[in-house]
Amino acid sequence: MKFFERINHRLVISASLFIGGLFFLLFGIFFLHKTYQTRIAPNTFIGPFAVGGQTREQARQQLERATDYLMVSGIDVSINQKTKHLSFSSMTTAADDIFLETISFDIKKALDEAFYQNRSSHWFIDGFYLLFSYSSKHFISIPIELQIDALKKQLTELFKEDYTQAKNASFSFIFDENENKWQPILVPSKLGQEFSYKLFFDKLINQLGVLDSSKIIIPFISVTPQITEEDIEPLLMKASSIINEPTMRLMYSSGKSVMVWEISADMRRQGLIPEKLDQSVTLTLSDESISDLFNQIEKEIEIKVQNAVFALEQSRVVQFIPSRTGQTLDREATHKQITQMFNQANTETEIVTKILIPEVTNEDLNDLGIVELLGVGISRFAGSPLNRIKNIQNGAHLLHGLLIKPGETFSLLFALGPFTAENGYVPELVIRGDKITPEFGGGLCQIGTTIFRTSMNAGLPIIERQNHSLVVNYYNDLINNNPGTDATIYDPAPDFRFFNDTDHTILIQTEVDLDETELRFSFWGTSDGRKGYYTPPEVLRWIPTGPKRVIETTDLSPGEEKCQSAHPGADAQFTYIVEYPDKEKQERIFSSHYRALPEICLLGIEPPSFEQNTDENNSSSLEDSVELP
């Protein structure tokens, strides 16, 4: 009997210990779940920062300080034992309007991964995951987007003394007085020495993803020419025939008239090159040599396509420019015709034209459904320099009268481009690293900001919007003068896009009021009863600028200084609200982070009288340069 009593006593003790242990385990799991319900799991790292136990907002602010520092400081790049500094941002010296960035960090995506990785909505599973997170570290990289073309251009400029492109075998020509004709001479090919761009971009993404600002060392690679001496030796006789032919012509027949343009002997001698097509090598003219001829032909035969453009008079739509079918030179096809003429031993060929069909025709007027005002957006540009105002006027002119069809996504970059002098834009000076260069684009963010506000007041879905990187007074909200309701654009990214989800066409009307320094856009169409509006932006915190930075340059006279002003940073947000006639109400919060930027000045110095050794790693530790919470 006592034996069974002892067994029962042990069972009771064991059961009690088990139940007590289970209770404490469940309590611990529940406690972890509640403690980390709004926090990132322990042992989680984004780059060098331990973000475990932090809220998303705490981690976001820490990461933004680090990425802001990287954007302003850039990194060192070493090639062939030469070290140069690569900048990731640049800014205009006059209007503080263009702030160009060649990289962007997707902090939100990294925070989403950190917060949701191995988490569950069920308290037990979530707590269990959190318990095991103490046993291993979880490292996360920030996704990076690069402006590849801009970075390539910067690298090539920085190391232009060492960069040599591979040269194909080609021709030169001398005049043989005995034969009384030009003779082709073979120019041998040359190996090139280029940067390993792929290796550089891979390293850059990997380093910046973990916020590593240390120097990147990349090698040169030898590049083999595509066309060798063996490829063009069989073409020497054909080349001789082409350059000594008295007359070669391009022709265009239009009705009863025939237009003729000569491909001069000088043009053929200066522009004749071998070209690799598929696996064979043929003869053609270089793009540069025929560019002027093509421009001349285009001027003489071009008929500009014209969409029907509409305007409002007394609240009704009227047509004020009729549509017209256009015609232009098909440069690529005509170039192929020239190549074919050379290789078939002909002396003349027809140019090729393209017919351009207008997207909006006169017949569309009755089907537009443009009967009322949908929304208005306003911004002010007081204090803008002349070139900035010219770009604002040009952008407004390009948008005025545009029609957005039902179901169409409107792209502001597409509507305003190309950003060239030929399309009406004027440049501004931009500081990039220790250089000052002209850039097109000043004033375009004024266009982006105004159309963003117009789209919201019309209640339209916003597909893509990026705030300006800096707090700039031009874009402060008109209600409370706070930042937060701006939209920046720069080719090729970011863009501003919205969607026409109405059942009718939307007409854009623009007005530039120079007296009031005010830009006003209005959208017209057929209302379905929706009402769009947004709350005044709220600044959640201001970020100090830090001390002035001086960068020495040989691009300015010794002692001359050019500066861009300091900009305090900020975090701001507002709510965009759309009320539909069926009582449905949609709300969307737009959050904006504006980078703090100190005053940055370029100071002219005397050029060095000897080759300086620049192979020093001047990059500082990110942890030393960024204040950690």
DSSP string, 548-608: -EEEEESSS-TT-EEEE--B-EEEEEEEEEEE-TTS-EEEEEEEEEE--B--EEEEE-PPP
Give the whole-angstrom CA distance, residue 577 versus residue 535.
8
Q: Are residues 379 and 474 in the same domain?
A: yes
For the cut 80, the answer to whether the pLDDT of residue 13 exceeds it is: no
**In the predicted model, what is the mean pLDDT of residues 612-620?**
44
Q: Are residues 375 and 449 in the same domain?
A: yes
Q: Give per-residue pLDDT as tens, 249-299.
A: 999 988 778 999 999 999 999 999 999 888 889 999 999 999 999 999 999
Query: Domain limits at 376?
Result: 368-625
For residue 50, CA distances in Å to 40, 54, 306, 607, 629 come to 10, 9, 59, 45, 11
82 Cβ neighbours under 8 A, 6+ residues apart: 159, 162, 614, 615
Q: Are residues 435 and 354 in the same domain?
A: no
Exposure of 624 in the CB half-sphere (CA atoms within 13 A):
6
Q: Are residues 381 and 332 in the same domain?
A: no
Q: CA torsion, points 51, 54, 57, 63, in degrees to nearest 10?
A: -20
Give the whole-angstrom CA distance, residue 431 versus residue 601.
9
**pLDDT bucket at 368, cuts 50 / 70 / 90:** confident
- Among the listed residues 321, 293, 295, 299, the one whose alpha carbon sits nearest the alpha carbon of residue 308: 321
Q: Give per-residue pLDDT as tens, 131-173.
A: 778 888 999 999 999 999 889 988 888 888 888 889 999 989 9
Give the whole-angstrom CA distance, residue 529 versus residue 459.
10
For the cut 70, the answer to whether the pLDDT of residue 613 exceeds it is: no
Give the whole-angstrom CA distance, residue 201 versus residue 267.
40
Location of structure tokens 């031993």:
345
Last-in-domain residue among 99, 116, 141: 141
- Answer yes or no: is 23 within a domain: yes
Residue 361 has a CB neighbour count (10 Å cut-off) of 14
Write phi, then psi, for 228 (nearest 5 degrees): -110, 175
- Answer yes or no: is 421 within a domain: yes
pLDDT of amino acid 94: 54
pLDDT of amino acid 293: 95
Q: Are residues 605 and 585 in the same domain?
A: yes
Cis peptide before 438 (omega within 30 of 0): no
Q: Are residues 428 and 338 in the same domain?
A: no
Across 315-324, 519-528, 611-620, least confident range: 611-620
182 Cβ neighbours under 8 A, 6+ residues apart: 173, 174, 175, 176, 240, 243, 244, 269
Quick check: 97 and 471 in contact, CB under 8 A? Answer: no
For the cut 80, the answer to whether the pLDDT of residue 599 exceeds it is: yes
Across 79-83, 296-300, 381-385, 403-407, least confident range: 79-83
Quick check: 465 and 414 in contact, CB under 8 A? Answer: no
For residue 51, CA distances in Å to 44, 48, 130, 164, 212 come to 6, 9, 14, 46, 17
Q: Are residues 382 and 354 in the same domain?
A: no
Quick check: 484 and 593 in contact, CB under 8 A? Answer: no
Across 358-372, 397-411, 458-472, least confident range: 358-372
CATH, residue 259: 3.10.20
Domain count, the chain: 3
pLDDT of amino acid 279: 81
- Answer yes or no: is 157 within a domain: no
- Among the listed residues 397, 319, 421, the one whose alpha carbon sits nearest the alpha carbon of residue 362: 319
- Among the listed residues 588, 373, 597, the one whose alpha carbon sits nearest the alpha carbon of residue 485: 588
Give the whole-angstrom CA distance, residue 534 versus residue 480.
13
Location of structure tokens 């001479």:
185
Q: Which residue has the higher pLDDT, 3 or 486?
A: 486
User: What is the arrangement of strands in the sheet containing 518-525, beginning at the earlier edge strand?
Assistant: 372-380, 518-525, 506-513, 403-404
- Answer yes or no: is 299 within a domain: yes
Q: Exposed/middle/buried for 447, CB within 10 Å: 0-12, 13-18, 19+?
A: buried
- Answer yes or no: is 232 within a domain: no
Q: Are residues 292 and 420 in the same domain?
A: no
Rg over CA atoms, the chain: 33
> Whole-model pTM?
0.75
Q: Give per-residue pLDDT as tens, 113-127.
A: 998 887 777 777 777
And the tokens for 467? 């705030």
**In the predicted model, what is the mean pLDDT of residues 434-440?**
66
**pLDDT bucket at 615, cuts 50 / 70 / 90:** very low
For the cut 70, the answer to whether the pLDDT of residue 430 exceeds it is: no
Q: Which residue has the higher pLDDT, 229 or 361?
A: 229
Longest dimension (CA), the chain: 134
- Answer yes or no: is 578 within a domain: yes
For residue 270, CA distances in Å to 124, 171, 229 come to 78, 9, 19
Q: Are residues 394 and 539 in the same domain?
A: yes
Give the whole-angstrom CA distance, residue 26 versus residue 23.
5
Q: Are residues 349 and 400 in the same domain?
A: no
- Answer yes or no: is 302 within a domain: yes
Q: Are residues 345 and 435 in the same domain?
A: no
- Answer yes or no: is 575 within a domain: yes
Q: Are residues 353 and 484 in the same domain?
A: no
- Among the listed residues 106, 140, 125, 114, the one whose alpha carbon sits nearest the alpha carbon of residue 42: 114
Sign of the four-CA dihedral 368, 371, 374, 375: positive
Q: Which residue has the higher pLDDT, 26 or 470?
A: 470
Quick check: 245 and 258 in contact, CB under 8 A? Answer: no
